[in-house]
Amino acid sequence: MTYLVTIVTEACIFSIMALGLNLIWGMSGDFDLGYYGYIALSTYLTIVLSDGPAQAPVQYVFGTSLPYPLSVLIATVVVVAVGAVVGAVALRGLREIYFALTTLGAVSALYIVVGVYTPLFNGFNGVSGLYNPMGTVLGIGYNGYHYFLLALSAVILVAVAWVVQRISGSPFGRLLRAVRDDEPAVAAYGRSVFWTKYKAYLIGVSFSGLAGGLFAAFLGSFNPTAWQPIEVLTLYAGVLVGGRGNVKGVIAGTFVVYIGFVELTRYLPNMPGHAEFAPALRQVLIGLLIILFLRFRPQGVFPERLGVDVGDSPGWATRLRRGPRTIKPELVGASVAEGDR
Amino acid sequence: MSGEVALDVRDLHISFGGVKAVDGCSFEVPAATAVGLIGPNGAGKSTAIDLISGFQPPDAGQVHFHGTPLIGKSPHVISQLGLVRTFQSPREWGSLTVMDNVMLGLKAFDRERASLALFGLGKVKKQEDRDRVRVRELLDSFNLTAVKNLPASRLSGGQKRLVEFARIAAAAPRFVILDEPMGGVNPVLGERIGAAIKELVANGSTVMVVEHNLAFIDAVCDSVVVMAQGRVIAQGPYSSLRDNPEVVSAYLGEMDNV
Amino acid sequence: MHQFGLDVGVGFVTAAILALSAVAFTLEYAVSRVANLAHGELLTIGAFAAWLVQRDTGSVILAAASAAVIGGLAGVATNVFFIERFSRKPVLVTLIASLGLSLILQNVLVMIFGAATKSYKINQGAPHHYGPFVFTRAELLVMLSAVVVAIALYGLLQWTKFGRALRAVAENRDLARASGVPATRVITLTWLLAGVIAGFAGFVLAENVGAFSPSFGNSFLLITITATVAGGLGRPYGTLIGAVLVGLALELAGSYTNSSYELAIAFAMLVALMLLRPNGLLAGRGRLVRV
């Protein structure tokens, strides 16, 4: 039972990250390969803000023993500030592959600096010590803690999903998709492509801050072996498989990819003396998933849903109904039949 | 409105990699008229459009739009001032419905604030619904009602052009630059486009049409600006150009539909 | 001062290896218009092939040759089974997919050979002084091979029919095809060439570093891209110059700070290049207008 709770909790946390990517890439079209950097930064910060001062030989910054919710909040704010700088610089003039490579370069540099420069987050050994945060305050014992974390993660996931869903159905969301499809046309009609992308970027980065905070509570400790920039591909796989732009699809895709692969590799025979076989196979499958979906089903299992206009005579009170998953010709015929010439 | 100059282009220059694409281009467009911009291939017409609309900074020159200088401003700022341009190929937003494509043409910038997506969405949607009525009429006038809920990527080339015009009509700009609107368009559709242009002018907008189809220019435009080799070589009513030796030699054989 | 000579000397060796890897990458980009993020794996596969052959035959020459041959085959396979299948898709899609391919190739190697670093030691020869520089015989050969490849490539591109066809396809594939150039064949042969060079680069890198692993080609990828971008994506001669500049800059920077930061410096250079000179150091600022 504990195992199930753990898996679902982690899937919830990854789904929050995936929703952030959904805003940045799924709806806005910016292929950010550095996203895991924000997550890692937030996780590190949450831990070092909540921990007490560093005891030699361990070194890290802060160590301010703040209450956990405050640490998460500050970590998120810091991460959004970093994102604001990165976004301002990278989104201004870089698009597509240049943006992807720049973010990859930036996060790779961050990875090395974090691992080598020990005064920051204790270098390669990493930081630890975040043990069941808020547990004593709320009177939750060791046995019940994982239920609490599951509930907390689920609640934040629902809140984040609500935000993304609202954005998706709003004029702002429509503008984001237009920017994704054709930028010059958007500029020709009076909207600033940069500012539109920038806002979406900041919101998406803020989700990584929250997810990082939860991740810190989930793991309790963090070091460079716990994260590699390339793991962002697993998140992209979830978004791609589920359906980019579709909130429920993204969550479903992330759950399937994460839980499915964890379960799959659990039951695989492990080669004796070859401990890396199962994890490597998992990565191979993720890579295959990405390639196959990009080639044959780039819209994902649950494609983006278009809002359909159903009112048809002038002066009528209008309604915008959430359309079906794909616009089938017969459905278009149906709305035409509703009294037009 | 009569006599006012909508667009005043002065001495634009730009070179790319040593090649002078626009070499001292100057012309004026009077308000509430339709003006054609013609010239042989490579004359610099599209580049001049990019310079005027802000998509490319010039090396030198100035552009005034109803008195406001444009050079140095971003494309979206210029568009907000009232100058909208199209591109040589239809640039529809493929994953949006036709309806959404035209809705995005409306000058409803404040509704697109991110904060409104979370708080106040209900009020925004009511405002949108009011505009939706007008947009439906627009779509109807362009015969697009049947496809209004299709993703724009599924339309034919001609339908995409119509969506562009519906979008322009929704934006109701003071000035529209049409970059080769007749590309790949059949004559019936061409008439519809011509009528749309005339309607824009009748409503007070100024239209500049870059085109190779000279018969279309003759039918629709009040006057014509001729560019060759990055410069304006003639300006005036279309009929006067046929006798202009510079214009004839610039085209040299291209003017078979005169 | 002697230290400076040593650093630059090492820089030349790095630059030579970088040049090989980068010119192959740029050839791939030139004909297929995609940044192949699985390019590092061509080096890795070459290194593995060389290592296996050397282990069984003891011959360095056979090892180098097999690295080139297997690399070439891998290049062709990448093009035929992967790149061409994505040719109708947007460039960004192919980029993401190539990341997936990289993931697959690296981990298949892990599954077969394990993730551990393998040592690859061959006789380097004694170091000799050449003016202010110090090189071993192996290092000299590495630099020589890079120069030979550069010259051969120049000759190929300028004077052979294939070279002209390659340049035509790189310029405009459809136009080339319409002019009678067998574009598909040219592209496949270019990937063969790129794979040969990249596979050989993998062998050279492995024996120069003395060790390799399934991920070592991928860790060389970003530096390769930095060199390519510095010289201009898709421009072979520029890439060669870019490789020299980046190789030297890396070594000099690495000698003034902790050498563990070397990769981070390379990545910082990549970011700076992307922001300031995306068209290469040799081109102008580019006239991109920010929308």
For A270, other C-beta atoms within 10 Å of its C-beta total 12
A100 CB neighbours in chain C (<8 A) are: 92, 95
The torsion region of residue B3 among left (phi > 0), alpha (psi -120 to 50) and beta comes to: left
For A247-278, what is each residue's pLDDT tens digit? 999 999 999 998 887 777 677 666 666 677 87
For C189, other C-beta atoms within 10 Å of its C-beta total 19
Does residue C18 have a pLDDT over 50? yes
Of A171, A185, A316, the CB nearest to B111: A171
Q: Which chains touch A (3 or more CB pairs under 8 A)?
A: B, C
For residues C86 and A271, what is the distance between their CA atoms, to the nearest angstrom? 35
The minimum CA-CA distance between C291 and chain B, rounded to whole Å, is 7
For residues C242 and C239, what is the distance between their CA atoms, to the nearest angstrom? 5
Does residue A312 have a pLDDT over 50? yes
**Of A308 and A340, which is predicted with more confidence?**
A308
Q: If you count residue pairs, one on B and one on C, with CB atoms under 8 Å apart, how many are there?
A: 14
Does residue A167 have a pLDDT over 60? yes
Does residue A317 have a pLDDT over 80? no
Structure-token pair, residue B132? 């939706």
Q: Which of A74, A76, A70, A52 is nearest to A62 (CA)?
A: A52
**Of C92 and C1, which is predicted with more confidence?**
C92
Instruction: Please say whether the dihedral angle defined by the alpha carbons of residues A214, A218, A221 and A224, taken in this order, is positive or negative.
Output: negative
**Residue A247 pLDDT:** 93
* Of the listed ranges A251-255, C257-261, C281-285, the one predicted with least confidence: C281-285
Q: Which residues pair with B226 in a beta bridge?
A: B38, B234
Indicate the length of chain C as a whole number. 291
Q: Which chains touch B (3 or more CB pairs under 8 A)?
A: A, C
Asked if B118 has any chain A CB less than 8 Å from its own CB, the reply is yes
Asked if B129 has any chain A CB less than 8 Å from its own CB, the reply is yes
For A140-153, what is each residue's pLDDT tens digit? 777 788 888 999 99
The minimum CA-CA distance between A95 and chain B, rounded to whole Å, is 16
**Residue A329 pLDDT:** 35
Indicate the length of chain A as a whole number. 341
Helix (H, G, I), strand (E, B) or coil at B6: strand
Does residue B136 have a pLDDT over 70? yes
Mean pLDDT in residue range C199-206? 93
**Residue C9 pLDDT:** 64
Residues 6 or more apart whose CB falls under 8 angstroms from that of B180 comprise B88, B210, B211, B212
Helix (H, G, I), strand (E, B) or coil at B26: strand
**Using the beta-carbon criterion (under 8 Å), do B57 and C290 form an inter-chain contact?**
no
Task: Count Cβ atoms within 10 A of the Cβ of residue A302 and give its class: 0-12 exposed, 13-18 middle, 19 or more buried.
Answer: buried
- C-alpha A331: how far from chain center: 34
* Res. A332 pLDDT band, cuts 50 70 90: very low
Task: Count Cβ atoms within 10 A of the Cβ of residue B3 and give its class: 0-12 exposed, 13-18 middle, 19 or more buried.
Answer: exposed
CB C98 within 8 A of CB C38: yes
Does residue B94 have a pLDDT over 60? yes
* Res. A306 pLDDT band, cuts 50 70 90: confident
**Using the beta-carbon criterion (under 8 Å), do A167 and B95 form an inter-chain contact?**
no
Q: Helical H runs in chain C? A: 2-32, 39-57, 60-78, 91-113, 137-159, 161-171, 173-178, 183-209, 216-219, 221-231, 236-256, 262-276
CB C45 within 8 A of CB C201: no
Measured N-to-C along each axis, helices C183-209 and C39-57 cross at an angle, to the nearest 10 degrees, of 60
* Res. C207 pLDDT band, cuts 50 70 90: confident
Does residue A324 have a pLDDT over 60? no
For C140-195, what is each residue's pLDDT tens digit? 888 888 889 989 988 888 889 898 899 888 888 888 888 888 888 999 999 999 99
Does residue A335 have a pLDDT over 90? no
Nearest chain C residue to B15 by CA distance is C287
Interface test with B, best of A92, A168, A170 (most B CBs within 10 A): A170
Nearest chain B residue to C283 by CA distance is B17
**Residue A92 pLDDT:** 81
Structure-token pair, residue A208? 């990584």
Of A166, A185, A316, the CB nearest to B93: A185
C290 CB neighbours in chain B (<8 A) are: 74
C287 CB neighbours in chain B (<8 A) are: 16, 56-57
What is the residue-averaged pLDDT of chain B? 88
Instruction: Please say whether the dihedral angle defined by the alpha carbons of residues B122, B126, B127 and B131, taken in this order, is positive or negative.
Output: positive
**Residue B71 pLDDT:** 92
**Residue A319 pLDDT:** 42
For B109, other C-beta atoms within 10 Å of its C-beta total 15
Buried residues in C95-106 as b, exposed as e (16+ CB within 10 A): bbbbbbbbbbbb
Question: DSSP code of A26?
Answer: I
Structure-token pair, residue B65? 């739009």
- Which secondary structure element, helix H or strand E, spans residue A148, and what is its range? helix A142-168
Q: Which amino acid is at C227?
A: A
Of A170, A184, A196, the CB nearest to B121: A170
Checking B152-159 for CB contacts under 8 A at 24+ apart, the result is B152/B92, B152/B93, B152/B94, B152/B95, B152/B96, B152/B97, B152/B98, B152/B101, B153/B92, B153/B94, B153/B95, B155/B92, B155/B98, B157/B90, B157/B184, B157/B185, B158/B184, B158/B185, B158/B186, B158/B189
**Using the beta-carbon criterion (under 8 Å), do C289 and B54 form an inter-chain contact?**
yes
pTM reported for the whole predicted model: 0.89
Mean pLDDT in residue range A215-237? 90
Q: Which of A193, A251, A162 is nearest to A29 (CA)?
A: A193
For residues A63 and C61, what is the distance between their CA atoms, to the nearest angstrom? 57
* Percent of chain B scoring above 70 in pLDDT: 97
Mean pLDDT in residue range A85-103? 86
Task: Count Cβ atoms within 10 A of the Cβ of residue C51 and give its class: 0-12 exposed, 13-18 middle, 19 or more buried.
Answer: buried
For residues C12 and C7, what is the distance between their CA atoms, to the nearest angstrom? 9
* Of the listed ranges A216-225, A323-332, B152-161, B222-231, the one predicted with least confidence: A323-332
Of B113, B124, B171, the CB nearest to A189: B171
For residues C170 and C164, what is the distance between their CA atoms, to the nearest angstrom? 10
Helix (H, G, I), strand (E, B) or coil at B35: strand
For A206-218, what is each residue's pLDDT tens digit? 999 999 999 999 9
Mean pLDDT in residue range B194-221? 91
ipTM summary value: 0.89
The minimum CA-CA distance between B241 and chain C, rounded to whole Å, is 35
The minimum CA-CA distance between C167 and chain A, rounded to whole Å, is 23
**Residue A253 pLDDT:** 94
Give the CB-side neighbour count of residue A216, counting CA atoms within 13 A. Answer: 33
The minimum CA-CA distance between C288 and chain B, rounded to whole Å, is 7
The torsion region of residue B223 among left (phi > 0), alpha (psi -120 to 50) and beta comes to: beta
Asked if B107 has any chain A CB less than 8 Å from its own CB, the reply is yes
- Which secondary structure element, helix H or strand E, spans residue A143, and what is its range? helix A142-168
Q: Which of A150, A199, A151, A190 is nearest to A172 (CA)?
A: A199
**Residue B167 pLDDT:** 93
Interface test with C, best of A36, A101, A228, A265 (most C CBs within 10 A): A101
What are the phi and psi torsion angles at B209 (to 5°)? Answer: -115, 120
For residues A210 and A311, what is the distance between their CA atoms, to the nearest angstrom? 40
CB C149 within 8 A of CB C23: yes
CB A130 within 8 A of CB A216: yes
Structure-token pair, residue C96? 């993401």
* Res. B1 pLDDT band, cuts 50 70 90: very low
Helix (H, G, I), strand (E, B) or coil at A279: helix
For residues A34 and A138, what is the distance between their CA atoms, to the nearest angstrom? 36
